[in-house]
Structure 1
Amino acid sequence: MQKDAYTLILEAIDTGVYRPGDRLVESELADRFGVSRTPIREALQRLETQSLLARDGRSLIVASLDHNQLSELYVVRAELEGLAARLAARHATAEEVRVLKDMVEDDKQLLNDPTALSRANRRFHKQIHLASHNRYLVQQLDLVHRSMALMATTSLAAEGRGEVALAEHGAIVSAIEKHDEESAYLALKEHISKAFVTRLKLDAAAT
């Protein structure tokens, strides 16, 4: 299936091809993706409406999150992710649990590569979203994770965070496997909270 201009630009932001503060130029995007300027223009308008792009004079740039937006995003993310873990503990099949366990094991090979670990982390969380078997929750979490792409760095880049995060992933999967809804909810919520604390420390160190 051919991807539309909106999806192509979104993926480019999500994978870090375009970072917060980068200018997006219609003609350059059209050349890069091999599509005409009209769908590019429509995609940019849609992304601006979703606050993923911002105006800088006459230019459109990839938006960045201020401290308050970051805090608001993490509050929503913690609750929705926790709910996904709770529902996964209720609905996940044995096969879905096996995939989650394999992911935790495989991701240990990526501890020295924060970028690859960040991509693997997204896949892990997406797998939990799908295991919740609630399409509306999956849609909302997709929106949240799009906004997460507006962060300049991953919290997994912090010294030692990768190993701790994987241990937390293991605890989340264990609770899901035991169908312990409350423990799964709390474990994932705490995991997001710790990631937020790490991010705040990274941002403080960068200023």
Structure 2
Amino acid sequence: MSSEKTPQKDAYDLILEAIDVGVYKPGDRLVESELAERFGMSRTPIREALQRLETQSLLARDGRSLIVASLDHNQLAELYVVRSELEGLAARLAARHAAAEEVQVLEALIEADRKLVSDPSALARANRRFHRQIHLASHNRFLVQQLDLVYRSMALMATTSLAAEGRGEVALAQHEAIVAAIKARDEEAAYDALKEHISSAFVQRLTLDSDAPVSL
């Protein structure tokens, strides 16, 4: 009797996940042999994954080496503009299409996240889960695909805006407003609340970046 095996993550997913959780940060060099040893696979799939990530601008060339790319000020601004519009649309569609059970999940996520306010890294991971749930609640597969691409690029940010003092509590309050609007089926309020949430995150991001030490 054959048993089903859990699908194995391929090299691309493993490297992308490592970047997303901060194992590899912007500027870090990625070496085929080291990645092959880390993930227990041959260098061929690693090489193909690195080429794919470079094509998607998640990796950049530094001489002959590949490094994790970083976002400059203009790229960051462009990313937040796109993210704001797409996330706002997701909230609008969630207010229209979300099942009652999906709203309950969103409410439960907020309650669970209150315990993580003092842990920015854990709260950042929880924040992605919350936003992902809104994306899914939009019931629009093409929008979800586009937001997945946006979140891939967000992995290139070295720090989370939730690391700023007091940002966690503010973000959770904003999450509550978003879910309340979705639950009330108020599409315009959901759209506005989500866009305001992204706008304040961008302001916090710019503030953190301006406080970072400058190399001369």
TM-score (norm. length: structure 1): 0.99
Which amino acid letter does the alignment assign opposite residue 156 of structure 1?
A: L
Q: Which residue of 2 aligns with 1:38?
A: 44
Q: Which residue of 2 aligns with 1:132?
A: 138
Which amino acid letter does the alignment assign opposite residue 54 of structure 1?
A: A
- Structure 2 gaps of 5+ residues are 1-6
Which residues in structure 2 correspond to 1:34-183 (within 5 Å)? 34-183=40-189
Identity %: 82
User: How many angstroms apart in 2 are the aligned matches of 1:152 and 1:60?
Assistant: 17
User: How many angstroms apart in 2 are the aligned matches of 1:87 and 1:33?
Assistant: 39
What do residues 145-182 of structure 1 show as CA deviations (whole Å, max 9, x unaligned)? 01001001000000100000000000000000001000
What do residues 9-59 of structure 1 show as CA deviations (whole Å, max 9, x unaligned)? 001101111100100000000011111101100000000000000000100
Q: Which residue of 2 aligns with 1:192?
A: 198
Q: Is the counterpart of residue 204 in structure 1 residue 210 in structure 2?
A: yes
Runs of 4+ residues over 4 Å off in structure 1:
none
Q: What SS does the corresponding residue of 1:60 show, helix, strand or coil?
A: strand
Which amino acid letter does the alignment assign opposite residue 27 of structure 1?
A: S
**Which of the numbers 23, 28, 37 marks the counterpart of 1:22?**
28
User: How many angstroms apart in 2 are the aligned matches of 1:38 and 1:126?
Assistant: 32
User: How many angstroms apart in 2 are the aligned matches of 1:35 and 1:179?
Assistant: 49
Q: Which residue of 1 aligns with 2:11?
A: 5
User: How many angstroms apart in 2 are the aligned matches of 1:177 and 1:35?
Assistant: 46
Q: What SS does the corresponding residue of 2:66 show, helix, strand or coil?
A: strand
User: How many angstroms apart in 1 are the aligned matches of 2:21 and 2:98?
Assistant: 28
For these two proteins, the number of residue pairs brought into alignment is 207
